[in-house]
Amino acid sequence: MDARTHASKIKVACSNCNLRELCMPVDLSAADMKRIEEVVSSRRKVIRGESLFQNGEKFKALYAIRSGFFKTSYASPDGREQVTGFQMSGEIMGLDGIVNERHTCDATALEDAEVCVMNFEHIEALSREITGLQRHVHKILSREISRDHGVMLLLGTMRAEERLATFLLNLVQRLHARGFSPSELVLRMTREEIGSYLGMKIETVSRTFSKLVEDEIVEVKQRHVRILNAEALKQLVTVNS
């Protein structure tokens, strides 16, 4: 069943959302917040394995992830899936469609999720009047550019252990900002998807996890990962920087 059939027209109250500080500007007046809430007028549920949007689809909206986990990807020329990112609650999706008014990747739910739908034309119009919103959109765009540069550096210069350590540290840091444990996480993605994102074969991903376990840096039980030695994990990243 397509994700659009799960659209919910309930009124979204951004001012009462516990993710407001992550995906909305801070220090807005009550009046400005009310106007933004009118733009974020609906929620959409996306079941695990379903697409939120697809490569080539007409761009209409940005999506703030309210709950759940997504991956973005595209099909490489040889037909393989290339994972380009993993997104979680409080993050904005759909920015790829702004330039050419069509999405350039697929966004797929890795678990049952819910997003707030924000019509982009309305956001553009409102951002001209609310400078705080305009600055926030610019910050989101800047963050995406920085993240892309980070991935390029990751794939271009780092060894396997450095890549996986950077990936785990980034995930746990983002989750901790959302109130989760600073040392434990559940991987919503498969080893194959991690490998696609990090530019590693699945065998290399598994072997690198095993090495981190052997060195007592992490503990792994299926998809549950516990960081036993955060300093050692950080050292793997910084030792050759």
The pLDDT of residue 161:
93
The pLDDT of residue 162:
93
Phi/psi of residue 179, nearest 5 degrees: 95, 5
Say if residue 148's pLDDT is above 90.
no
The pLDDT of residue 7:
47
1 alpha carbon, distance to own chain's centre: 23
Phi/psi of residue 19, nearest 5 degrees: -105, 5
Amino acid code (one letter) for 120 = F
The pLDDT of residue 9:
44
Closest CA to 63 of 16, 7, 15, 147: 7
Q: Are 168 and 227 in contact (CB under 8 A)?
A: yes
- Measured distance CA(88)–CA(71) in Å, rounded: 9
The pLDDT of residue 2:
47
178 DSSP 8-state letter: T
231 alpha carbon, distance to own chain's centre: 25
> Tell me: the pLDDT tens digits for 45-88?
999 999 999 999 999 999 989 999 999 999 888 888 999 999 99
If you count them, how many residues does the chain have? 241
Beta strands, E only, the chain:
7-8, 40-46, 51-53, 61-67, 69-75, 81-88, 92-93, 106-109, 113-119, 184-186, 218-221, 224-227
Amino acid code (one letter) for 163 = R
pTM of the model: 0.83
- Of residues 48 and 5, the one with the higher pLDDT is 48
CB atoms within 10 A of CB 32: 17
The rounded percent of the chain whose pLDDT value lies above 90 is 52
